[in-house]
Structure 1
Amino acid sequence: MNMKKVLQSKTIKLLLWVSIPLLFMYILLNFMIILPLRQTYQENHVKNMSLNINNLDIELNQLEVLFSFYGQSFKEDVDRYQDLEAFPYELINQLSDNLFYLSNSHRFVSNAEIVDFSQNPFIISQGGTYPISNQTKKNMEKKFHPYKDIKYEWINLGNELYFVERILQTKENDKAILLKVRVDKQLLFDELNRMNAQSGMVAVSFTPGRIESKQSSNISWLNKYKKSEEVRYNKRFFSLTVNKMNRLKQEWIIYSIAPTDKIIAPAIRIKDLLLIITMTSVIVIIILNVLYTKKVYQPFTDAINKVIGDENRDKKDEVNYFITKWQELLEDRKQLDILSQEYDVANKRNIIRRILDGYYTFLSNEELLRLLNENQWNGFSENMDMFYIQINDTSISDDKHSVDEMSFFAFENIVSDLCSEYFYQWVSLPRGDMSLLVVAEGERKRDTNLEFIQRVMQELNRVIGNYVSVSFNDKPVQLSNLSFEYKELVNAINYQKMKKENQYFTYKDVYQPTKYNVYSISDEREILLGIKNGDSAMLKSAVNKFYQSVYISSQTLNDLLFVTSKLYESIELLAKENGLSHREYLSKKIILSRISKIISIQEIVDFINDEFLVPFSIVWNLKVKTSNLAKMNEICDFIKKEYMNEQLSLEFVAEKFHLSPTLLSKEFKKQKNTNFVDYVSQIKLSEAKRLLVESDLKISVIAENLGYNDSYFNRLFKKHEGVTPGQYRKNNKRF
Structure 2
Amino acid sequence: MLRGHYRKSLLTFLIFASLPGLIVGGVLYIVSKNQIETELQQVHDEQFVQTVETMDEQFSYLEQSMAHWAFDPQFTENLKNLDFANNYQEIHEIYRTLLVMEGSNPLIGRVELYLREPASVVFTPDRYDRLTPERSEPYQALLSAEKSLYWSGGNGTVMLVHKIHSLGGADPFGALVLYLEKEKVLQLVQTLTPYNQGTSFLYDASKGQWLYTISEGNAPSKLDAVIMEEILRTEKSAETFLLDWESNRYSVTHGSFARMGVEWHYASAAPLTSITAPVIFLSKMILYTSGGLLLLAAVGSWFVSRRLYSPIDRLMKLAGVVKPEAGAERAARNEFELIETHWNHLSRESQILQRRLDEQLPQLREGFLMQLLHGYMYAYTDDELINRIESFGGEARDRRFCIVLIQLLGFSKLEGRFSDGDEGLVTFAAANMVEEIVATFPIRADVVNFQDLSLGLLVAIPSRMSREQFEEAVYRASEELLASIERYLKLQAVICIGRTTASIKSVPVLFEEAKLAAGFRHAGEGNLIIDIEKMDDAGRDHAPDYPFDLERQTLRAVRVGNADEAVAGVRAFVQAFAEAGVKEGALKQGMLHLLGSLLRVVLQSGLNAQQVYEGANLYEQLLHVRESDALPDWFDRKVIRPFIRELSQKQNAQMRQTIEKAAELLRESYRSDISLDSCADRLKISPFILSKMFKEIVGVNFIDYLTDIRLEKARELLRDTDLKISEVAESVGYQHSYFNRLFKKKEGVTPTHYREISRTGG
Q: TM-score interval w.r.t. the shorter chain?
A: 0.3 to 0.5
TM-score w.r.t. the length of structure 2 is 0.41
Q: TM-score, normalised by structure 1?
A: 0.42
